[in-house]
Amino acid sequence: MAFPRHRPRRLRVNESIRSLVRETGLVPQDFIYPLFVVHGKRVRREIASMPGNFHLSVDELVKEAEGAYNQGIPAVLLFGLPKKKDREGSESFKKAGIVQQAVRALKKELPDLYVITDVCLCEYTDHGHCGKIVDGRVDNDQTLKLLARQALTHAEAGVDMVAPSDMMDGRVAAIRQALDDEGFSRVALMSYAAKYGSAFYGPFREAADSAPAFGDRRSYQMDPANAREALREVAMDIEEGADIVMVKPAMAYLDVVRLVRERFDVPVAAYNVSGEFSMVKAAERLGWIEGRRVMMEILTSIKRAGADIIITYHAREAAEYLKHKL
């Protein structure tokens, strides 16, 4: 295959031929849209570090989710901000907790929208860690009980899928078991299987008010230097009953997305996290990049790396772009 007989540029002369040979296409059905729900009524407060994303009260959340659904985005991922935080994160497993209220409202108003909840304690604990603190450390096995309890209250509210993001060992099995024992075998589980201890979560911790009060998350989230370990984490979660496995963050971990895609046959999700999103917005504001094109390039790369599902704050903007462009 040598020049001059072969000229790759022949297949790039105009958009028509480029579109025929394009290997990776995006559709709104690839996206999960994360949303932050708060107490109150008619609250729609923009999150400063994440332009275009809001703290939404349940009434406003339903509107936002409906808008996304009408654009073809099939699913939302909910995060809750409680009224009060305490040591055990007890609002996370209250029947009338904010996420539980949100799930009930969404399933009532938009029954076909697929509702996923993040299952974790960090937004609900006064210390901001993802588990229960015992003797100054995040205790794995005691945390499992709280996570299972939280997942059950989401199931009772009617959630379609739960997504544990805490990175405790054994939490997929603990949650799956609790759901099955209580008659919720229909509820699916997406695990944040390879979740790295990443500085890319910075804006989220402002959005979810979940920065740890002491230390960091490195005793439970993965070391960014490790890829083989991700395969072990993913294998364990599938064994424990995960229906979908996730790699997080996405952009700086596309090699891990690819490795997971090649090794396993379950659907793979990648989380295009808050810091990845905010960097695009910030650089765009400074006039340094063309934000929309960079957004589409990033999302396309995540899909090209092998993700079936992309969790992204760009979901609505990207869906809008795809509608007019395609």
Return the active site residues: 195, 248
The reply to whether 53 sits near ligand PBG by the rule CB under 6 A is no
Question: Any contact of residue 130 with ligand PBG (CB under 6 A)?
Answer: yes
Q: Report the C-alpha gap between 123 and 69 in whole angstroms.
A: 26
DSSP 211: -
How many helices (H) and strands (E) in the chain?
Answer: 11, 12
The helix/strand/coil state of 82 is: coil
The span of 16-24, 25-33, 199-207, 233-241 binding ligand PBG (CB under 6 A) equals 199-207
Task: Write out the E strands in the chain.
Answer: 31-38, 44-46, 54-57, 75-80, 114-119, 132-134, 137-139, 161-164, 188-195, 244-248, 268-272, 309-312
Can you tell me which of 62, 98, 230, 273 binds ligand PBG, judged by CB under 6 A? 273
Using CB under 6 A, pick the residue from 36, 124, 201, 253 that binds ligand PBG: 201
Give the phi and the psi of residue 70 in degrees, each rounded to 5. -65, -20
Cβ-Cβ contacts under 8 Å for 267 (sequence gap 6 or more): 243, 244, 245, 308, 309
Task: Please give the residue whose beta carbon sits closest to ligand PBG in the complex.
Answer: 204
Q: In the chain, what's the furthest Cα-to-Cα distance? A: 71
- Specify the stretch interacting with ligand PBG by CB under 6 A; choose among 9-17, 94-102, 201-209, 293-301: 201-209
Q: Does 153 bind ligand PBG (CB under 6 A)?
A: no
Euclidean distance between CA atoms 110 and 33, whole angstroms: 15
- The binding track of 242-271 with respect to ligand PBG, each residue x by CB under 6 A or -, is ------------------------------
The Cα 302–Cα 270 span in angstroms is 7
CB of 324 to ligand PBG, least distance (A): 27
Number of residues that bind ligand PBG (CB under 6 A): 11
Interface with ligand PBG (CB under 6 A), residue from 57, 143, 274, 278:
274
Instruction: Confirm if 150 and 93 have CB atoms less than 8 A apart.
Output: yes
Q: In terms of CB distance, is 69 or 201 closer to ligand PBG?
A: 201
Is residue 122 a contact point for ligand PBG (CB under 6 A)?
A: yes
* Contacts of ligand PBG in 277-306 (CB under 6 A): none
Q: Which residue in 165, 191, 278, 312 binds ligand PBG (CB under 6 A)?
A: 165
DSSP 152-163: HHHHHHT-SEEE
Is 204 a residue that touches ligand PBG (CB under 6 A)? yes
Residues that bind ligand PBG (CB under 6 A): 118, 120, 122, 130, 165, 201, 204-205, 217, 273-274
